[in-house]
Chain A
Amino acid sequence: WIGDRKSLVGPGSSPPTCLAKCGRCGPCEPVHVPIQPGLSLPLEYYPEAWRCKCGNKLFMP
């Protein structure tokens, strides 16, 4: 339970650990990935989400 980011023992969050989230690929690291919500003005930043990355492949945390 400790370290489980979905546990609701109190407020707060942490990035995903990405343990065993990249299949057989390693190392599997959490990264920020921009999510493009369609046509966006160039000055607007994209929202970002966490994904697990191994090499150039992304996996859901």
Chain B
Amino acid sequence: YSSPVYSLPHNEGRALMSIKASFSNVANVLLDWDDDHNHDFCSWRGVFCDNVSLSVAALNLSNLNLGGEISPSIGDLRNLQSIDFQGNKLTGQIPDEIGNCGLLVHLDLSDNLLYGDIPFTVSKLKQLEFLNMKNNQLTGPIPSTLTQIPNLKTLDLARNQLTGEIPRLIYWNEVLQYLGLRGNFLTGSLSSDMCQLTGLWYFDVRGNNLTGSIPDSIGNCTSFEILDISYNQISGEIPYNIGFLQVATLSLQGNRLTGKIPDVIGLMQALAVLDLSENELDGPIPPILGNLSYTGKLYLHGNKLTGPIPPELGNMSKLSYLQLNDNQLVGTIPSELGKLDQLFELNLANNYLEGPIPHNISSCTALNQFNVHGNNLNGSIPLGFQNLESLTYLNLSANNFKGRIPVELGRIVNLDTLDLSCNHFLGPVPASIGDLEHLLSLNLSNNQLVGPLPAEFGNLRSVQMIDMSFNNLSGSIPMELGLLQNIISLILNNNHFQGKIPDRLTNCFSLANLNLSYNNLSGILPPMKNFSRFEPNSFIGNPLLCGNWLGSICGPYMEK
């Protein structure tokens, strides 16, 4: 039943005034809440009355920057069906009296600073369908009495400081559709009872302290569309029965799962997102994962996966994110990955991959980020890379790449990071690198590059970091580097640079980290005052350079 409870209108006006009184920051937003000058509280901001009974049916005070507390007088508004206080700065505890609003259907207190326990009296709200208290500072347990709310469809308690176990009774609710518990301190294990939630589509316990294993019966949770149990301490193997799930998102990352990736996952074609990263999974990547032709995101990074990258992954035609980094993968990069024309990010870093980068990778024209750092790859940079116009991040560092740096790299104009460090690149630094006007970080260190530093580097107007150290570069430091107004780190040590340090370098006001040590620089340091902020370590190992450090040709007299 939901017949209105009789309550005198002037009592409701008084209740509203005491609710206002316990708020702060009301000056501008609740100006019309004033029963001396306006008795018609049904016209007050955020107050909505029932047409017949003229009593308050809804209070919508969301996003008004209100501070202070929720007054216990809220319990005097017996005909309230909806409270929306979302997005304020309300603090204090949720008053027990809220349980007196017996007709409440919708209760949203999310995005506030409320603390203390969730009052047990909430379970008296038998009409409640929507309960959202996420993003507060609530502590204590999830009251098991919440299970006494027969029509609860949405329960969102995410991002609080709730402790204790998830009450098992909560799982015996055929009506519940949305269970959001992410970002609390919940303990205990997942119960096989969770699949009694036969109407649930969203199950999210990400970022708690749950332990134990994934229940074998998980496959019975057939109504789930999203299953997110990531960032807990769940251990054991991924059960075979997971293959019975109909989920679009399966997030198991950041746990302690062991054993192999079960082949059955390759049959879960409804998967849009599969994230098994940051676990302790071993064994090979099952080639049958290539069957997942509707999956857009595949994250397997941060495990102990061995064996090769299956060429079958090239059949995942909808794939936009593929992260296999930080495993123990061997073999070559399959050229079949070139078929992934929607691929946005490819991260294969920190494995044991060898051989060259297949030319076909240049066909992944949607590619934005390409990272193969820390493998044993060899060969040269495929010339086709110049066609990857969307590329913003290119990291080939710490491999065995050789050959020249192609002039054509200068055509990938959207690059913000170019890292070719710790390889065997030789020959000159192409002047075309200076065309990469969006570049933020350029690292060509630890190669065998020769010749001068191109004056065109002065065109890198956004660049914050240039590292050319440990090469065989020579010539003078171009004065055009003085044009770099955003540069923070300029690392040129261990080369053969000669001549004077250009005075114009003192125009780089954001420069905080300068290393010119171990070159053949000569002359005196730029006399400008701001250059004295650099320690002698920035300049040592230049025998002909004059500066104020011990051992310099014109340095302070060495005391005995």
Q: Is the CB of B294 within 8 A of A15?
A: yes
Q: Most chain-B CB neighbours within 10 Å: which of A14, A37, A50?
A: A37
Q: Is the CB of A6 within 8 A of B248?
A: no
Q: A12-B268, A32-B272, A48-B296 are in contact. List 8 more A-B contacts (CB 8 A).
A: A11-B241, A13-B245, A13-B267, A13-B268, A13-B271, A47-B248, A47-B251, A48-B297
B372 within 8 A of A: no
Q: Which residues of A contact B225 (CB under 8 A)?
A: 49-50
Q: Is the CB of B248 within 8 A of A50?
A: yes
Q: Which residues of B contact A38 (CB under 8 A)?
A: 110-111, 134-135, 156, 158-159, 180
Cα A13 to Cα B180 in complex, Å, equals 24
Minimum CB distance partner of A38 in chain B: B134
Q: Is the CB of A13 within 8 A of B249?
A: no
**With A14-B269, A37-B204, A39-B135: A49-B249 Cβ-Cβ less than 8 Å:** yes
Q: Is the CB of A12 within 8 A of B243?
A: yes
Q: State how many residues of chain B have any CB contact under 8 Å with chain A.
A: 39
Cα A39 to Cα B222 in complex, Å, equals 27
Q: Which residues of B contact A48 (CB under 8 A)?
A: 226, 248-249, 272-273, 296-297
Of the A-B pairs whose beta carbons lie under 8 Å apart in the complex, a sample of 14, sorted by A's number, is A11-B264, A12-B264, A13-B268, A14-B269, A15-B270, A35-B249, A37-B182, A38-B110, A47-B202, A48-B248, A48-B296, A49-B201, A49-B226, A50-B225
A2 within 8 A of B: no
Minimum CB distance partner of A11 in chain B: B243
Q: Which residues of B contact A35 (CB under 8 A)?
A: 202, 226, 249
The distance from the CB of A9 to the nearest CB of chain B, in whole angstroms, is 10
B246 within 8 A of A: yes
Cα A50 to Cα B222 in complex, Å, equals 14
Q: Is the CB of B228 within 8 A of A47?
A: yes
A45 within 8 A of B: yes
Q: Which residues of B contact A6 (CB under 8 A)?
A: 222, 246
Q: Which residues of B contact A11 (CB under 8 A)?
A: 219, 240-241, 243-244, 264, 267-268
**Per-residue 0/1 for B233-276: is the Cβ within 8 Å of any A Cβ (1 yes, 0 no)?**
00000001101111111010000000000001001111111000
Q: Is the CB of A12 within 8 A of B269?
A: yes
Question: Main secondary structure on chain A at its contact with chain B?
Answer: loop
Q: State how many residues of chain A have any CB contact under 8 Å with chain B.
A: 19
Cα A8 to Cα B240 in complex, Å, equals 14
Minimum CB distance partner of A48 in chain B: B272
Q: Which residues of A contact B245 (CB under 8 A)?
A: 13
Q: Is the CB of B246 within 8 A of A5?
A: yes
Q: Is the CB of B158 within 8 A of A37?
A: yes
The distance from the CB of A21 to the nearest CB of chain B, in whole angstroms, is 15
**Per-residue 0/1 for A24-56: is the Cβ within 8 Å of any B Cβ (1 yes, 0 no)?**
000000001001011100000101111000000
Task: List B residues 168-207 near A (Cβ within 8 Å).
Answer: 180, 182, 201-202, 204
Q: Is the CB of A50 within 8 A of B270?
A: yes
Task: List A residues 9-23 near B (Cβ within 8 Å).
Answer: 11-16
Q: Which residues of B contact A14 (CB under 8 A)?
A: 269-270, 294
Cα A16 to Cα B225 in complex, Å, equals 11
Q: Is the CB of B248 within 8 A of A32?
A: yes
The distance from the CB of B274 to the nearest CB of chain A, in whole angstroms, is 11
Q: Which residues of A contact B219 (CB under 8 A)?
A: 11
Q: Which residues of A contact B241 (CB under 8 A)?
A: 11
**With A45-B297, A49-B226: A13-B246 Cβ-Cβ less than 8 Å:** yes
Cα A12 to Cα B269 in complex, Å, equals 7
Q: Most chain-A CB neighbours within 10 Å: which of B110, B180, B201, B248?
A: B248
Q: Which residues of B contact A39 (CB under 8 A)?
A: 111, 135, 159
Q: Which residues of A contact B297 (CB under 8 A)?
A: 45, 48
Q: Can you list the 7 inter-chain pairs with the closest CB atoms, starting with the nearest? A: A11-B243, A12-B267, A13-B270, A47-B249, A48-B272, A32-B272, A49-B225
Cα A28 to Cα B483 in complex, Å, equals 55
Minimum CB distance partner of B263 in chain A: A11
Q: Which residues of A contact B273 (CB under 8 A)?
A: 45, 47-48
Task: List B residues 307-331 near A (Cβ within 8 Å).
Answer: 321
Q: Is the CB of A37 within 8 A of B269?
A: no
**Per-residue 0/1 for B261-302: is the Cβ within 8 Å of any A Cβ (1 yes, 0 no)?**
000100111111100000000000000000000101100000
Q: Which residues of A contact B158 (CB under 8 A)?
A: 37-38
Cα A53 to Cα B225 in complex, Å, equals 17
**Per-residue 0/1 for B142-159: is the Cβ within 8 Å of any A Cβ (1 yes, 0 no)?**
000000000000001011
Q: Most chain-B CB neighbours within 10 Å: which of A5, A6, A16, A50?
A: A50
Cα A11 to Cα B246 in complex, Å, equals 9
Q: Which residues of A contact B156 (CB under 8 A)?
A: 38
